[in-house]
Amino acid sequence: MPATASALHPDLLERVKGLVARARSLAIGGRHGVHRSRLLGGGSEFSEYKAYEPGDDLRFLDWKVLARSEKYVVRQFQSDRSQDVQVVLDRTGSMAFGTTGGRAPGPWGPWPATKWEAASTLALALSFVYLKQGDRVGLWTLEPGTGERSLSLLGRRVVPGRIPLRGGQRHLIELAARVTAAGPSGEGSLASTLNQVVAAGRRSTIIVISDLLTPEGEDWVAPLAVHAARGREVQVLHVVDPAELAFPWEEPTLFVDMEGSDELSANPRELARSYREEFDAFLEASRVSCVSHGLRYQRINTAEALEDVVVPFLRSRPGRHGR
């Protein structure tokens, strides 16, 4: 497994805009169309009903409809107010892994070769969508070796890996510059980063894009659960490579820890079954933990079309008046 990721495509912004355009054409063709932002605070107006899904806020369950029809539906709201969105992007060493580099280009550009390329493209694509509709976007990159550490610059507290909330299309250029300059490496604490994100943006929507390969015992869900309990939306995009799912190796192989210096020489045929069982259990535990705490969870397989990830954001979350 290589320890470094290939560079992002030089035409990154065009690639992102192409992805959003492709997703928008699919979203507009969908049954529900493009809706305005859903905010859970006061002053929102009723928009429509939707079937209840695990993780939906039970405060918006319509008990009268349930009594009449025995159907579980929740009320959705829309508002013309702009929202703040905090995007948390994992750039630790494990995100450099990838086996999809040889795939044919998608309709919007070159196929991502690594988890980092897929995650970075998604982060910028979703930022583009929110900025386009007038919202403010902040970016947090999970920095190697940083926890609660901060720097002091000219008397101001500066958090490594953070771009503060801003609006406007020009802000996308700053976000793209950060993503291009910050490749994946080393270890980092997702839980510590999320504690900072929640403290800095108590009213923000939070989008986490990560492979969730955190140190054993690290409770990264807790700060997000607190945020969701306050009625704020949290989306977890869990990025996985197809080789992590299938474990396709058969011949004796040297496996290298991409976030440290550990190595393991092993016969994959002897490990395949136990690995798949353990990785499947990890995926299910991640999903259940998110859903049970009111977080929206979506698994992202880097071998599948990225536009399918962007479409739900266009259909139900962002897009006031279809902008």
CA angle centred on 93, ends 269 and 195, rounded to 5°: 120
Domain residue ranges of the chain, discontinuous segments joined by +? 12-44+79-322
What one-letter code names the amino acid at 284? Answer: E
Query: Which pLDDT score, from 0 to 100, does residue 269 have?
Result: 72
Tell me how far apart the alpha carbons of residues 248 and 253 are, in angstroms, rounded to a whole number: 11
Q: Which two tokens stand for residue 304?
A: 């599948």
Residue 187 confidence (pLDDT): 84
> Per mean pLDDT, which range of 244-248, 266-270, 319-323 is the poorest?
319-323
149-159: pLDDT as tens digits: 433 333 333 35
Residues 110-123 have a mean pLDDT of 93
List, in sequence order, every residue forming a beta bridge with 158; answer none if it has no partner: 151
Q: What percent of the chain has pLDDT over 90?
A: 39
Please state, for a pLDDT cut of 70, what percent of the chain lies above it. Answer: 74
Inter-CA distances, 146 with 191, 227, 261, Å = 11, 22, 18
What residues are paired with 210 via a beta bridge?
238
Listed range (51-60, 193-202, 281-290) with the worst mean pLDDT: 51-60
Per-residue tokens: 278: 């353990």
What is the mean pLDDT of the segment spanning 166-186? 87
Checking if the pLDDT of 106 tops 90, the result is no
Q: What is the pLDDT of residue 37?
A: 45
pLDDT tens for each residue of 43-76: 455 666 778 766 566 777 888 888 888 888 877 6
* CATH 3.40.50.410 is right for the domain spanning 12-44+79-322: yes
Higher pLDDT residue, 175 or 42?
175
Q: Which of 116, 73, 81, 113 is nearest to 210 (CA)?
A: 116
Interatomic CA distance for residues 70 and 73, integer angstroms: 9
pLDDT for position 268: 67
Helix (H) or strand (E) holding 76: strand 73-78
Q: Which pLDDT tens digit goes with each residue over 198-239?
A: 998 788 999 999 999 998 889 999 999 999 999 999 999 999
Q: What pLDDT is attached to residue 6?
A: 43
Q: For 192, phi and psi rounded to 5 degrees?
A: -65, -40
User: ∠158-160-166 over CA atoms, to 5°?
Assistant: 70
The C-alpha angle with vertex 116 and arms to 184 and 253, in degrees rounded to 5, equals 80
Does the pLDDT value for residue 125 go beyond 90?
A: yes
